[in-house]
């Protein structure tokens, strides 16, 4: 069968071969800078959203979620710049460990990452105890302010470690 032959031979058997694209190093670096910058632009958008929402009382859980997202995207942007393979994870301490493998200075973000990491899920969904009873927990304004400060610090920390072409504008 054709699928078996392709699998066995590992190549296209019929038809024309696609033209091979030759990338020069400048194009590769430009694409990497664009991708890194894209991660950081999205992180910055989450920071802006968190700051705006923080002005509205009673929805601090949304602030916390966007802070976690900004923190995560900033770390992933750093990893992308360094050609580190990204995993599907929202766990900031794991991402910090990966960043530390590239730059030991990331260790100083470990505490803030541990604080902000649970905000990916903690207030996004109802939480119940072992008996199915709803546990009411509400984040405070102080929690939101701390998370926003930590996320901004992490974002700035990452941006300082990247070359200008990989940084978001403004």
- Dump pLDDT digits (tens) for 99-110: 999 999 999 999
For residues 106 and 108, give the distance between their C-alpha atoms in angstroms, rounded to a whole number.
5
pLDDT in tens, 36-75: 999 999 999 999 999 999 988 778 999 999 999 999 999 9
Query: In order of start, what are the domains of the chain with their CATH numbers?
Result: 31-166 (1.20.120.330)
Count of C-beta atoms within a 10 Å radius of residue 22: 6
**Nearest to residue 46, comparing CAs of 154, 118, 166?**
154
Q: At what angle do helices 60-81 and 25-54 cross, to 10 degrees?
A: 170
153 or 169, which is more confident: 153
């Amino acid at each position: 069968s054709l699928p078996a032959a392709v699998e066995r031979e590992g190549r296209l058997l019929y038809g024309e071969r696609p033209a091979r694209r030759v990338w020069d190093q400048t194009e590769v670096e430009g694409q990497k800078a664009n991708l890194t910058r894209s991660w950081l632009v999205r992180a910055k958008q989450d920071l802006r959203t968190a700051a705006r929402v923080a002005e509205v009382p009673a929805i601090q859980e949304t602030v916390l979620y966007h802070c976690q997202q900004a923190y995560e995207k900033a770390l992933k942007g750093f990893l992308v710049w360094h050609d580190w393979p990204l995993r599907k994870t929202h766990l900031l301490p794991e991402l910090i460990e990966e960043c530390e493998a590239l730059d030991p200075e990331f260790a100083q973000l470990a505490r803030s990452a541990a604080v902000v990491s649970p905000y990916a899920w903690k207030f996004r969904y109802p939480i119940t105890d072992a008996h199915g009873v709803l546990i009411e927990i509400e984040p405070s304004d102080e929690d939101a302010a701390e998370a926003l400060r930590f996320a901004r610090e992490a974002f700035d920390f990452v941006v300082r470690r990247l070359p200008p072409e990989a940084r978001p504008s403004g």
